[in-house]
A = this chain, B = another copy of it.
Amino acid sequence: MAKPIAGPEIERLIQLLAKLPGLGPRSARRATLHLVKRKEQLLGPLAAAMAEALERVLVCSVCGNIDTSDPCTLCRDHARDQSLVVVVEDVSDLWALERAKALNAAYHVLGGVLSPLDGVGPEDLTIRQLVSRVGSGTVREVILAVNATVEGQTTAHYLTDQLAGFEVKITRLAHGVPVGGELDYLDEGTLSAAMRARTPF
């Protein structure tokens, strides 16, 4: 747009909000209007929350989780079995597993998956940190909770190779029919995997 409609401050807010995932230029404009109409209730608190997050949020040096303390809340939680390490691609996966209360364990965030096409090699992930964590002898089991994609499975195989020399159990998430899922809508790969891994009823 040649001529800005509102002041440069508002234009800048729109442009920055449009960089958030899930927001485009149009919805960023709507969000900006929503914010400036609710200065006291929303814009102020959000600006303050962002300033505080900017100052206090850091990456846990043990597991790669995002928190306001290092080591993070999960790594310092002695009620968790710290000898069980769940390897995930991203913090969002860690959050998803925690929401599901899937396991009371520690985590290791890889920061991505191996993807030669995108130029992501082992040195771009926290694989070295995982190997040294396992090498310290405190880890009993490594659970590979990477996504069931080609890159995820490639990464899982690579990790298994890297950890082969250690006395550690390596497991992965089960494949199968999602709870609540309808067979008719599932792909053949999932159905075959679920059939192969069938369990006594």
- With an 8 A cutoff between CB atoms, is A167 at the interface? no
Shortest Cβ gap from A91 to chain B (Å): 6
- CA separation between A118 and B83, bound complex, in Å? 58
Q: Interface on chain A toward B: helix, strand, loop, or mixed SS?
A: helix
CB nearest to A6 among chain B residues: B67
Pick the interface stretch among A29-37, A128-136, A145-153, A183-191: A29-37
Asked if A53 contacts B68 (CB within 8 A), the reply is no
Segment at the interface with B among A38-46, A157-165, A168-176, A192-200: A38-46
Known: A1-B99, A46-B16. A69 touches B7 (CB 8 A): yes
| Chain B residues positioned under 8 Å from A68 (CB to CB) | 6-10
Contact A57 B10 (CB under 8 A): yes
Chain B residues, CB < 8 A from A57: 7, 9-10, 36, 39
Measured CB to CB, the closest approach of chain B to A27, in angstroms, equals: 4
Contact A31 B20 (CB under 8 A): yes
**Is B16's CB under 8 angstroms from A45's CB?**
yes
Cβ contacts under 8 Å, A37 to chain B: 66
Q: Is the CB of A30 within 8 A of B92?
A: yes
Q: Are A67 and B7 in contact (CB under 8 A)?
A: yes
Apart from A5-B95, A5-B98, A22-B22: 14 A-B pairs, beta carbons within 8 A: A5-B94, A6-B66, A9-B49, A9-B57, A10-B66, A16-B46, A21-B31, A21-B34, A22-B27, A23-B31, A29-B92, A35-B53, A39-B54, A43-B54
Provide a sorted-by-A list of 6 A–B residue pairs whose CB atoms are within 8 angstroms: A8-B68, A17-B46, A21-B31, A22-B30, A23-B31, A43-B54
